[in-house]
């Protein structure tokens, strides 16, 4: 069966078709304070983000994905640990089946209900996402932890539409989402060199994980957990689409904060 998150085709089986799963720069990782070092030379992140139109797709049982039209460059990331400019191509999420697990990265072993990923490709060096996706300096992904609490107004523009795309491969247009409002107030982040957390697991990602989580309401989390998938042949809820933490294998994790 093609890869997924069930026992038969989940993260521990991926190595059979994607040997890089046992590579030395795999993601996610546990962000352990004993492995992180404050780096005063880290620049602030610089977002040139503005409200943009996108299409939300229940992308065949891995997650829901908002694809942006990156032919112009409405959303560009630079600064922080990055050299050059990175264009946002898509954003998506990972979640569990309860609010205590679901994120991919963890902080000293603590996991969150979900994790938002904003995927950018290096538009200073490559001409599109497909060219950049397998290059060691090809991608930059911002990870934002999500916990249950107050409703999140901007994410509501997405979660309100999810009931319309519960069936796999269904899609819907969404205009006017402002990715800037999907970032936490604090600029504090961790950064390290890693990989895609889903096959093909390319070791092409400079990870930037924000320290401060976003809050969403329990109703919003339920809307996310109500997406369906046919991945495992059965028509069932798409849950626990997160990869467990991988070996740091000697990598350093830098913190932009003390
Ligand atoms: N989950 S993630 O952001 O590493 C990703 C992007 C594309 C494939 O996997
Ligand atoms: Zn992801």
Per-residue pLDDT, averaged over 15-31, amounts to 98
**29 in Cβ contact with 107 (< 8 Å):** no
Show Cβ contacts of residue 214 under 8 Å, excluding neighbours closer than 6 positions: 116, 144, 145, 146, 147, 152, 155, 182, 184
Task: Specify which residues 253 forms β-bridges with.
Answer: 36
Show Cβ contacts of residue 153 under 8 Å, excluding neighbours closer than 6 positions: 181
- pLDDT for 220 beyond 60: yes
For ligand 1, whether the C-beta of 198 sits within 6 Å is yes
For ligand 1, whether the C-beta of 117 sits within 6 Å is yes
Distance CA 141, CA 246 (A): 17
For ligand 1, whether the C-beta of 119 sits within 6 Å is yes
* 141 Cα nearest atom in ligand 1: 3
* 197 Cα nearest atom in ligand 1: 4
Give me 138's structure tokens: 């090809």
**Shortest-distance Cα residue to atom 5 of ligand 1:** 196
The closest alpha carbon to 155, from 121, 188, 116, belongs to 116
Residue-wise pLDDT tens digits, 44-84: 999 999 888 888 888 766 889 999 888 775 799 999 999 99
Residue-wise pLDDT tens digits, 86-122: 999 999 999 999 999 999 999 999 999 999 999 999 9
Q: Which helix (H) or strand (E) holds 220?
A: helix 218-224
pLDDT above 90: percentage of residues in the chain: 78
Report how far ligand 2's centroid is from the alpha carbon of 206 (Å). 13
- The beta-strand segments (E) located in the chain are 30-31, 36-38, 45-48, 52-59, 63-68, 76-79, 86-95, 106-107, 114-122, 139-148, 171-177, 189-194, 205-210, 214-216, 228-229, 236-237, 253-255
Can you give the pTM of this predicted structure?
A: 0.97
The closest alpha carbon to 221, from 141, 142, 156, belongs to 156
**14 in Cβ contact with 36 (< 8 Å):** no
Per-residue pLDDT, averaged over 154-170, amounts to 89
What's the pLDDT at 236? 80
For ligand 1, whether the C-beta of 197 sits within 6 Å is yes
ipTM of the complex: 0.98
Give me 62's structure tokens: 């891995």
Distance CA 158, CA 176 (A): 11
Residue 146 to residues 39, 113, 123, 244, Cα–Cα distance (Å): 25, 6, 28, 17
Q: What is the mean pLDDT of the chain?
A: 93
Report how far ligand 2's centroid is from the alpha carbon of 200 (Å). 12
Confidence band, pLDDT 50/70/90 cuts, at residue 245: very high
């Amino acid at each position: 069966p093609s890869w997924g998150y069930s026992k038969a085709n989940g993260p521990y089986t991926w190595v059979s078709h994607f040997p890089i799963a046992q590579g030395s720069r795999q993601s996610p990782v546990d962000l352990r304070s004993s492995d992180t070092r404050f780096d005063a030379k880290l620049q602030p992140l610089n977002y040139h983000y503005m409200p943009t139109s996108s299409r939300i797709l229940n992308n065949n049982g891995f997650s829901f994905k908002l694809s942006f039209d990156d032919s112009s460059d409405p959303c560009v990331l630079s600064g922080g640990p990055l050299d050059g400019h990175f264009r946002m191509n898509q954003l998506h999420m990972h979640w569990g089946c309860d609010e205590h697990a679901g994120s991919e990265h963890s902080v000293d072993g603590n996991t969150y209900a979900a994790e938002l990923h904003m995927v950018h490709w290096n538009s200073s060096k490559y001409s599109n996402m497909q060219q950049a996706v397998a290059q060691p300096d090809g991608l930059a992904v911002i990870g934002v932890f999500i916990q249950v609490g107050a409703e999140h107004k901007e994410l509501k523009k997405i979660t309100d539409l999810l009931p319309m795309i519960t069936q796999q491969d269904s899609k819907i247009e969404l205009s006017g989402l402002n990715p800037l409002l999907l970032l936490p107030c604090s600029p504090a982040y961790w950064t390290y060199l890693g990989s895609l957390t889903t096959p093909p697991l390319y070791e092409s990602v400079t990870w930037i994980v924000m320290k401060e989580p976003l809050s969403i309401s329990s109703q919003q989390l339920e809307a996310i957990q109500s997406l369906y998938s046919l991945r495992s042949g059965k028509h069932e809820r798409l849950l626990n689409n997160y990869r467990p933490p991988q070996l740091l294998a000697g990598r350093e994790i830098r913190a932009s904060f003390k």
